[in-house]
Structure 1
Amino acid sequence: MRSQWTLRWLPFMVMAPVALIDLMAGPALGFLPLLTLGPSFGSVYGSVRRTALIGAVALAICIPLAYYNGSLLKWQNNLTIATIVSATGASMLVSHLRLKRERELASVRLVAETAQRVLLRPVPRKAADLQVALSYTSAAAEARIGGDLYEVVITPHGVRLLVGDVQGKGLDAVETAAWVLGAFREAAYDEPALDDVSERLESSLSRHLSGEKFVTAIIAEVRPGEIVLLNHGHPAPLLLTAEGKACTVEPPAEALPLGLGPLGTDRPKAHRVPFLEGDRILLFTDGVVEARDDSGTFYPLNDRLHLLRSDEPQEALDSLRADLVAHTGGPLPDDAAMLLLRRHAR
């Protein structure tokens, strides 16, 4: 990358003009102390040995120029040499600490991302009479480890699915996501009613969450001719019918997210929506609709639904993801998960 190339050669790009200016100015003006910029910038990129090498180059430039200027053994030049040596030693220490920190951060991030990949298992691409497509876009490097979660399971009670978003980021969010997914995978098989699945999740989280942490989520069950939704404070999904109509599937009443059950009695009410052959439904996390461009405009998801009309759901979802990334012009500020279901003939 261009930025890495610049950081790599920046120390030499600084020391070369300093040497040239000092050579042209002569002994009247002393620019040699500015050679300390070389090892200082060298600590930003590369190893400790490379930083020491840059310091040696600075000395190799300083001594001949001092001899040329007739100040080699004068106290001013001795002070300059001592300054270069001291700056090189300090830069080597900074480089060592930076590399240590980078290794620690990379190790923690690798462990967290590995744990997240284990939790978010690949979803089945076909389930009963459904085609399933998934898109998960990581956020910027400093926010890469998030709490978006999803699951699709085939149970004796039908195809059940979960899309959710844990409050916060980092290892705490991944741990909470693990509790939610573990509880859902068990309850989805055990409980015949979707309301009971919701209660199992709420009960599990009430034992593990502290304070006012919560998880927004949609729990759904696909049935013949319809899909049943339980919305726990999550962004409403979008339904695209085979006839070309599109609508937002708003819940009949607002409900609290998972984990906030003790704060109120509002439980989500099951919402039955016709889901026929050729229909599509898109479930997503708030990282999609809250993504902004350079001017601060939110991603206009409702205006991009034509991208989902492809006969192949995964291709359609990939197109939508590419448009989302293009809208932001770079990495997303938050994770964005999208799950697209398309109903086809058995």
Structure 2
Amino acid sequence: MLSRVRTKPFQSGRGPLSPGSRAGLGAALALLALVSAVELADGRPAHYVALMVAAPFLAAALASWRVVLGVGVLATLIGAGFALAERTMSLVTAVNVAGIALATAIAAAVASVRQRQAEQIAELSKLATVAQQAVLRPLGPQVGTLAVAARYISSTATAEIGGDLYEAMDTPYGVRLIIGDVRGKGLDAVRLASIVLGSYRHVAYERADLRAVVTDLDRAVARNVGDEDFVTAALVEERGGTLTIVNCGHPSPLLLRRGAVIPLEPPAPAPPLGFMPVVRPRVERLEPGDRLLLFTDGLGEARRDGEFFPTADRAWRLLGHGTVADGLASLETALVEWVHGRLDDDIALVLMEYTGPRSGPTAAVPSWEVGAAES
């Protein structure tokens, strides 16, 4: 999939100028106009021609090399015009004009290098985005008896990728969801996230007991991480209106019911995947209209002036109305406003709503009881 991604070749010399090129060109022309005005007011001989050497370098900070070259040629011609206007061209003036031409060549080369680097960064950013999308498949809008929506909020504007992960599937054992957070960022985190998701997409269909799913995922993580690496995760199963949650060192989901927000803390703490967690399930009976918010710790760590975002206090007002996708959009807007657009960590959000039992008979038995019965 990644091999099919291509960026368009740079076309700065074709079509309209980019905003950066327009800004660089405008600043350089303003400088040339200012120096020319001062030179004309001063009269002969030319005293300020040397200042025009700054014009191509000023353009090189933002504009393409073609624009820089054009600015440099214009500056050289203006300088030569002032030099020729002298009755007797001085050696200093001639050297200044030659210096403008030399500066133009240097500035154009600098702009070319900067342009190639910007193009490479843009390509890497696009590849990072595609890699993230390949790992995190779109969810919803309906998975079994659950309306589901997911949202990924990046902490940077340059699409830096991290290890937040989620998935939802309708399996023979009910609708199962996972949300997790890999320690670290970058391609190593994405690699581990893809390993966890790949394993989960297989074992979620094979294991009747969520505890067995956790065991398999822990083995997959342990085979692929160092001593200090781990993955926090929460696994959720809805089966016949019964909600089962196992938690491996992850923030507790929030249950939204009739205006109340209930943190679904685990019966006992368990370490993250990679540290052989022994989990105890928490079981809740769902009512139609119940909503469950799953999130990574970036939401819990979001703060401004030392004050953390009040997720539980605002959850019902933000998430309790409209569709689940509308709810996540409202939460993201409120969060970004709270932190003034500056997040310290990426955030993955999953919001699900129980829409009622399936048509036909379904055993309302949590997965841990199914596993016990089969053993």
Same fold at TM > 0.5: yes
- Report matched runs for 1:1-346 at 5 Å: 5-27=22-44, 30-68=47-85, 70=86, 73-241=89-257, 243-259=258-274, 261=275, 266-293=277-304, 295=305, 297-305=307-315, 306-330=317-341, 332-346=343-357
Is the contact made by 2:253 and 2:294 (CA closer than 8 Å) also made in structure 1?
A: yes
- Corresponding residue pairs, total: 339
State the SS of the aligned residue for 2:233.
strand
State the SS of the aligned residue for 1:339.
strand
Structure 1 residue 266: Cα displacement: 4.8
| Alpha-carbon distance in structure 2 between the residues aligned to 1:279 and 1:90 | 65
State the SS of the aligned residue for 2:244.
strand
| Alpha-carbon distance in structure 1 between the residues aligned to 2:25 and 2:210 | 58
Equivalent residue letter for 1:251: P
| Alpha-carbon distance in structure 1 between the residues aligned to 2:57 and 2:88 | 23
Equivalent residue letter for 2:270: A
| Alpha-carbon distance in structure 1 between the residues aligned to 2:79 and 2:308 | 55
| Alpha-carbon distance in structure 2 between the residues aligned to 1:115 and 1:108 | 10
Structure 1 residue 53: Cα displacement: 0.8
CA offset digits 1:33-86 (Å, max 9, x no partner): 221221112212232222111111111221223344x38732211221232222
Structure 1 residue 200: Cα displacement: 0.8
Q: CA 1:236 to 1:71, structure 2 compared with 1: closer, same or farther past 3 Å?
A: farther
| Alpha-carbon distance in structure 2 between the residues aligned to 1:252 and 1:324 | 29
Structure 1 residue 271: Cα displacement: 2.1
| Alpha-carbon distance in structure 2 between the residues aligned to 1:190 and 1:271 | 21
Is the contact made by 2:64 and 2:111 (CA closer than 8 Å) also made in structure 1?
A: yes
| Alpha-carbon distance in structure 1 between the residues aligned to 2:313 and 2:106 | 55
| Alpha-carbon distance in structure 1 between the residues aligned to 2:36 and 2:22 | 22
Structure 1 residue 144: Cα displacement: 2.8
Structure 1 residue 15: Cα displacement: 2.4
CA offset digits 1:290-327 (Å, max 9, x no partner): 3344x454322223211111142222222212222222
Q: CA 1:335 to 1:3, structure 2 compared with 1: closer, same or farther past 3 Å?
A: farther
Q: CA 1:31 to 1:307, structure 2 compared with 1: closer, same or farther past 3 Å?
A: same
| Alpha-carbon distance in structure 2 between the residues aligned to 1:19 and 1:282 | 64
Q: Which stretch of structure 1 is more off in the superposition, 303-312 or 156-165?
A: 303-312
Name 2:3's counterpart in structure 1. Answer: none
State the SS of the aligned residue for 2:223.
helix
State the SS of the aligned residue for 1:167.
strand
| Alpha-carbon distance in structure 2 between the residues aligned to 1:19 and 1:267 | 78
Q: Which stretch of structure 1 is more off in the superposition, 26-35 or 319-328?
A: 26-35
Structure 1 vs Structure 2: percent identity of aligned residues?
36
Q: Which stretch of structure 1 is more off in the superposition, 210-219 or 89-98?
A: 210-219
Structure 1 residue 165: Cα displacement: 1.6
Structure 1 residue 142: Cα displacement: 3.4
| Alpha-carbon distance in structure 1 between the residues aligned to 2:21 and 2:182 | 35
Equivalent residue letter for 2:32: M
| Alpha-carbon distance in structure 2 between the residues aligned to 1:228 and 1:157 | 11
TM-score w.r.t. the length of structure 1 is 0.89
| Alpha-carbon distance in structure 1 between the residues aligned to 2:178 and 2:184 | 19
| Alpha-carbon distance in structure 2 between the residues aligned to 1:78 and 1:53 | 20
Q: CA 1:251 to 1:25, structure 2 compared with 1: closer, same or farther past 3 Å?
A: farther
| Alpha-carbon distance in structure 1 between the residues aligned to 2:80 and 2:191 | 58
State the SS of the aligned residue for 2:308.
coil
Structure 1 residue 114: Cα displacement: 1.3
Structure 2 unaligned regions, length at least 5? 1-17, 358-375
Structure 1 unaligned regions, length at least 5? none
Structure 1 residue 248: Cα displacement: 1.8
